């Protein structure tokens, strides 16, 4: 009996001890879980690893602006300076009348079913003239006193009249100050002060893929139309043809996929800061969204000359040429892979070297390849015409040429293109 009581006492003590320990453990867990209630402490947060402040300064989080906001801001800045150019001309007045189409006369005898087609004849002498709208284009102010840049082909007709229509709808008679003798550029002037005008960006700093906007009088109907795209090519060389059958070689052009339509000619191509990077000039009819603009640095030099001298002074060398291509190298087994090959034009009268020109005086010949001008290579990115445009009449340049398997050096004095 006593031993049973001892066993019972031991078991009870063990159970009591276990209960105490279990209770203490439970109390500890509760205190840990609810420590803010027990100790009046703030809840603990996960500990973050230490950050080096210098490292933060070196790698700041990029700050992005909404491109849409930049586009809207650029458009608001550019629009007041862009103009539409209306081309009108006095032409003989025609009297309109209708005549019976012979087809209907032969096959339909019913007098109530006759085919009338429009015809025209000049009014009785003396011939009356009427002022007609014959075309249009775009342009933009580059000074606050009314100097405007456009394309030469927009204002090519010396007998036509040119009216400038501003963004606000105001109309001004414009006179053509200068038509560039080489590039497809012209400069107009309207009377007035305080015009909004655009500034030029450095076209040498343009990057492929950057966003651009084209603004102009699309289709000679939709004034101040805005299209957006990117710079899709640089330093393009192309031959642009016009509706009158003339053709012109365009050097160092900027290619863009911003939609450029008839009527956009002469309008600005701008960056998202609203600065001009080019003048919209041509579009490919074979492809889609392939347009070209003359670079702003070329245009800016013209503006400065017109403003300071009242004319454009361009130097010239006096050769016709074709850039050396891979096909040319392979087919002719050339030993050089760059340069400008001097060659005659398609017409028998288009000589390779113009008689009496600086090139003629320097002894250049047909089939010579001009490799360098003052140490600068001539290639797809640096055309001969583009490099020559960087000089002024009277400058002496050193030409490195390739002739009959040998490299030669000759000097030429550039002259003013008349």
- What element of type H or E holds 148? strand 147-150
Question: What are the start-end ranges of the H helices in 34-121?
Answer: 35-39, 53-58, 67-78, 102-107
Q: Which residue has the tokens 């000089």?
A: 391
Task: DSSP letter for 245, please.
Answer: S
Are 140 and 81 in contact by the 8 Å Cβ rule? The answer is: yes
pLDDT for position 350: 87
- 3-17, 177-191, 225-239, 247-261: least confidently modelled range: 3-17
- Residue pair 189/148 in contact (Cβ under 8 Å)? The answer is yes
Cross-strand bridge partners of residue 130 = 91
- The model carries a pTM of 0.68
DSSP 79: G
pLDDT of residue 39: 43
- The highest-confidence range among 60-64, 86-90, 216-220, by mean pLDDT, is 86-90
Show the domains of the chain with their CATH numbers: 65-83+140-312 (2.40.10.120), 315-416 (2.30.42.10)
Paired tokens of 224: 């101040």
- What region, left, alpha or beta, does residue 363 occupy, with left being phi > 0 and alpha being psi -120 to 50 degrees? left
- Residue 295 CA, distance from chain mean position: 8
Residue 62 predicted with pLDDT over 60: no
Preceding peptide of 126 cis, ω within 30°: yes
- pLDDT of amino acid 304: 92
For range 148-164, the mean pLDDT: 92
Q: 138, 203, 252, 265: which one is catalytic?
A: 265
Exposed, middle or buried: residue 40 (CB in 10 Å: 0-12, 13-18, 19+)? exposed
- Judged by DSSP in three states, 186 sits in strand
Query: Token pair 């849409």 is at which residue?
Result: 68
Residue 123, both tokens? 């009014």
H/E stretch holding 236: strand 222-241
Helix (H, G, I), strand (E, B) or coil at 256: strand
Q: Give the tens place of pLDDT for each residue, 253-308.
A: 899 999 888 888 899 999 999 999 999 998 877 767 888 999 999 999 899 999 98
Q: State the chain's mean pLDDT as an integer.
A: 79
d(C-alpha 149, C-alpha 139), whole Å: 5
Taking the CB of residue 123, how many other CB atoms lie within 10 A of it?
A: 13
Question: Which of 86-95, 332-341, 364-373 has maximum average pLDDT?
Answer: 364-373
The band of 218, judged by pLDDT with boundaries at 50, 70 and 90, is confident
Distance between CA atoms of residues 209 and 74, nearest Å = 18
Whether residue 418 has pLDDT greater than 80:
no
Q: Residue 94 — very low, low, confident or very high, per pLDDT cuts 50/70/90? A: low
Residue 234 has pLDDT above 80, yes or no: yes
With a cut of 60, say whether residue 7 has pLDDT above it.
Answer: no
Phi, psi of 25, rounded to the nearest 5 degrees? -65, -45
The answer to whether 313 touches 319, Cβ cutoff 8 Å, is: no
pLDDT at 319 over 50: yes
The active-site residue out of 180, 184, 220, 368 is 184
Q: Could you tell me the pLDDT band of residue 117, with boundaries at 50, 70 and 90?
A: very low
For 279, counting Cβ atoms within 10 Å of its Cβ (0-12 exposed, 13-18 middle, 19+ buried), the class is buried
Active site residue 106: no
Indicate the DSSP class of residue 379. Answer: B
Report residue 25 as tokens. 């453990």
Confidence class for position 359, pLDDT limits 50, 70, 90 = very high
The dihedral region occupied by 57, where left means phi > 0, alpha psi between -120 and 50, and beta the remainder, is: alpha
Which residue among 153, 220, 296, 383 is the active-site one? 153
265 belongs to the catalytic site: yes
Mean pLDDT of the region 8-14:
52
Question: Which ranges constitute the DSSP H helices of 59-130?
Answer: 67-78, 102-107
- Among residues 213, 106, 93, 85, the alpha carbon closest in space to that of 161 is found at 85
Residues 46-57, mean pLDDT to the nearest whole number: 48
């Amino acid at each position: 009996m006593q031993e049973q009581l001892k066993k019972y006492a031991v078991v009870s003590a063990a159970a009591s001890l276990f209960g105490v320990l279990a209770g203490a453990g439970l109390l500890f867990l509760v205190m840990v879980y609810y420590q803010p209630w027990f100790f009046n402490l703030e809840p603990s947060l996960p500990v973050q690893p230490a950050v080096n402040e210098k490292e933060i300064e070196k790698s700041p989080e990029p700050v992005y602006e909404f491109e849409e906001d930049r586009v809207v801001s650029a458009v608001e800045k550019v629009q007041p300076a862009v103009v539409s150019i209306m081309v009108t001309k006095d032409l003989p007045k025609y009297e309109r009348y209708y005549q019976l189409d012979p087809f209907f006369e032969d096959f339909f005898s019913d007098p109530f079913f006759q085919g009338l087609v429009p015809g025209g004849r000049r009014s009785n002498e003396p011939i009356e003239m009427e002022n007609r709208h014959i075309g249009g284009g775009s342009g933009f102010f580059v000074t606050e006193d009314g100097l405007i840049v456009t394309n030469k082909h927009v204002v090519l007709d010396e007998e036509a009249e040119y009216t400038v229509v501003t963004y606000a709808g105001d109309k001004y008679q414009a006179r053509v100050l200068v038509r560039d003798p080489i590039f497809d550029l012209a400069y107009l002037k309207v009377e007035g002060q305080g015009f909004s005008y655009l500034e030029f960006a450095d076209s040498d700093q343009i990057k492929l893929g950057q966003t651009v906007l084209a603004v102009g009088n699309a289709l000679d109907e939709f004034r101040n139309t805005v299209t957006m795209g990117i710079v899709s090519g640089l330093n393009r060389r192309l031959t642009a043809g016009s509706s009158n059958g003339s053709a012109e070689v365009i050097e160092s052009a900027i290619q863009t996929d911003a939609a450029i339509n008839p009527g956009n000619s002469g309008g600005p191509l701008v960056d998202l800061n609203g600065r001009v990077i080019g003048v919209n000039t041509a579009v490919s009819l074979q492809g889609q969204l392939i347009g070209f603009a003359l670079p702003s640095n070329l245009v800016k030099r013209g503006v400065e000359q017109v403003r300071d001298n009242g004319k454009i002074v361009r130097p010239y060398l006096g050769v016709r040429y074709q850039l050396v291509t891979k096909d040319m190298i392979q087919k002719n087994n050339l030993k050089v892979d760059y340069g400008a090959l001097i060659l005659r034009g398609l017409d028998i009268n288009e000589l390779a070297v113009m008689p009496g020109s600086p090139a003629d005086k320097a002894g250049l010949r047909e089939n010579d390849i001009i490799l360098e001008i003052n140490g600068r290579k001539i290639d797809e990115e640096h055309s001969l015409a583009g490099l020559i445009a960087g000089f002024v009449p009277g400058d002496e340049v050193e030409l490195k040429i390739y002739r009959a398997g040998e490299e030669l050096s000759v000097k030429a004095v550039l002259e003013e293109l008349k």
